């Protein structure tokens, strides 16, 4: 992998990740851009104890542009985009309309391929591995920023999810705090560790799932399963067999196998609802240990956390979505219409040939 860092016309950082070591990236951003102005502010909810990002400048972000005006495609002739070069393998750049900025963290966009009509599932294994390497590199770099406590790499796919740019891409949020969902996990890990005399909760969950009926697929270094208490109609958790706290902890064997397992998983997601259905909308979310202090989680260290990816769709059946209505949105109590055992069975049925 070759990494080349440059700056866009408004000062934002852009990084090329190339498969070929001899690739030259010297194209300049020719757009007459003013410096970006953000109004991101983190406010603490006194009743719930969580945080909300107030980012009114995002109201003006690009919204469903036609394909020939996509800002994530390479620049070509007089059509200038966020990527100055005429081609790329993988690109990461600072979001022009970030939810988090400055002392409130940082937001980045990850373009998986220059092909506007592709998808992550359609990437080659080499390309998917390059994305994994880019995620890992950005996790490392962002973790050293003084304003960053947790790094979250994710992909939103599909208009049903709320995606406003159709080009295959993901995002990275670098939060200045430990996110509420991660804090809940850490509290459960701490309680389980104390109750069992030191057993790791993630290890216990993985061992239980491997002995059960919700396994979707397995590799030598990765295991994918539908969790016992899945929140979403089709939800899969992907774990490395060897517990590590973050992407940086993966060894070469796990990195090499990841594209095979993950690409197969994504292809199965697109087959869930049968032939002729539009691509399955999904969220793919990497859960990594925070880089900040964990004193509030009694006796828990970063090494007690288990890196894993959670992949889920909001589509519950053909042509119907799972909406977060009263119980979910009002009380945070999920109601799942698809039994996790049936979801796992379906995802095994649609294995690609």
Q: Mind telling me the catalytic residues?
A: 169
The pair of structure tokens assigned to 135 is 């995620």
- Cα gap 197→190, rounded to integer Å: 11
Nearest of 313, 162, 127 to residue 230 by alpha carbon: 313
Nearest of 346, 349, 286, 287 to residue 316 by alpha carbon: 346
Nearest of 225, 217, 155, 194 to residue 298 by alpha carbon: 194
What SS3 class is residue 330? Answer: helix
Distances (CA, A) of 279 to 51, 261, 273: 33, 19, 9
Distances (CA, A) of 100 to 43, 50, 108, 148, 300: 12, 15, 10, 10, 27
What phi and psi, each to the nearest 5 degrees, are found at residue 79? -90, 105
3-state helix, strand, coil split of the chain in percent (to 5) is 30, 25, 50
What SS3 class is residue 189? Answer: helix
- Cα gap 17→36, rounded to integer Å: 24
What phi and psi, each to the nearest 5 degrees, are found at residue 285? -130, 120
Count the Cβ atoms, other than its own, within 10 Å of residue 342: 13
- Cα gap 234→241, rounded to integer Å: 22
- Cα gap 222→154, rounded to integer Å: 19
What SS3 class is residue 302? Answer: helix
């Amino acid at each position: 992998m070759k990494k080349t860092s440059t700056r866009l016309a408004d000062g934002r950082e852009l990084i090329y990740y190339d498969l070929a070591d001899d690739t030259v990236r010297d194209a300049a951003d020719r757009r007459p851009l003013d410096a970006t102005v953000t109004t991101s502010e983190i406010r603490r909810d006194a009743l719930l104890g969580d945080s909300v990002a107030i980012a009114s400048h995002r109201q003006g972000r690009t919204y469903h542009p036609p394909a020939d005006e996509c800002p994530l495609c390479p620049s070509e002739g007089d059509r200038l985009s966020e990527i100055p070069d005429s081609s790329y393998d993988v690109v990461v750049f600072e979001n022009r309309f970030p939810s988090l900025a400055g002392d409130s963290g940082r937001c980045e966009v990850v373009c998986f391929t220059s092909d506007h009509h592709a998808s992550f599932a359609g990437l080659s294994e080499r390309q998917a591995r390059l994305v994994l390497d880019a995620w890992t590199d950005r996790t490392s770099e962002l973790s050293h920023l003084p304003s960053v406590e947790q790094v979250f790499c994710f992909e939103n796919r599909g208009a049903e999810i709320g995606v406003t740019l159709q080009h295959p891409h993901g995002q990275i949020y670098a939060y200045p705090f430990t996110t509420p969902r991660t804090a809940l996990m850490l509290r459960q890990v701490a309680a389980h560790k104390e109750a069992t005399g030191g057993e790791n909760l993630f290890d216990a969950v993985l061992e239980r799932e491997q002995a059960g009926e919700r396994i979707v697929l397995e590799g030598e270094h990765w295991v994918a399963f539908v969790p016992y208490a899945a929140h979403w109609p089709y939800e899969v958790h992907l774990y490395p067999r060897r517990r590590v706290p973050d992407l940086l902890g993966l060894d070469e064997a796990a990195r090499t196998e990841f594209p095979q397992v993950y690409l197969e998983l994504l292809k199965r997601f697109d087959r869930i609802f049968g032939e002729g259905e539009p691509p399955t909308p999904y969220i793919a979310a990497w859960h990594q240990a925070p880089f900040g202090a964990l004193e509030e989680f009694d006796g828990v260290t970063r090494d007690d956390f288990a890196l894993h990816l959670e992949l889920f769709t909001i589509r519950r059946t053909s042509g119907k979505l799972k909406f977060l209505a009263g119980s979910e949105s009002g009380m945070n109590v999920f109601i799942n219409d698809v039994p996790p055992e049936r979801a796992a069975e379906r995802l095994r049925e649609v294995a690609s040939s």
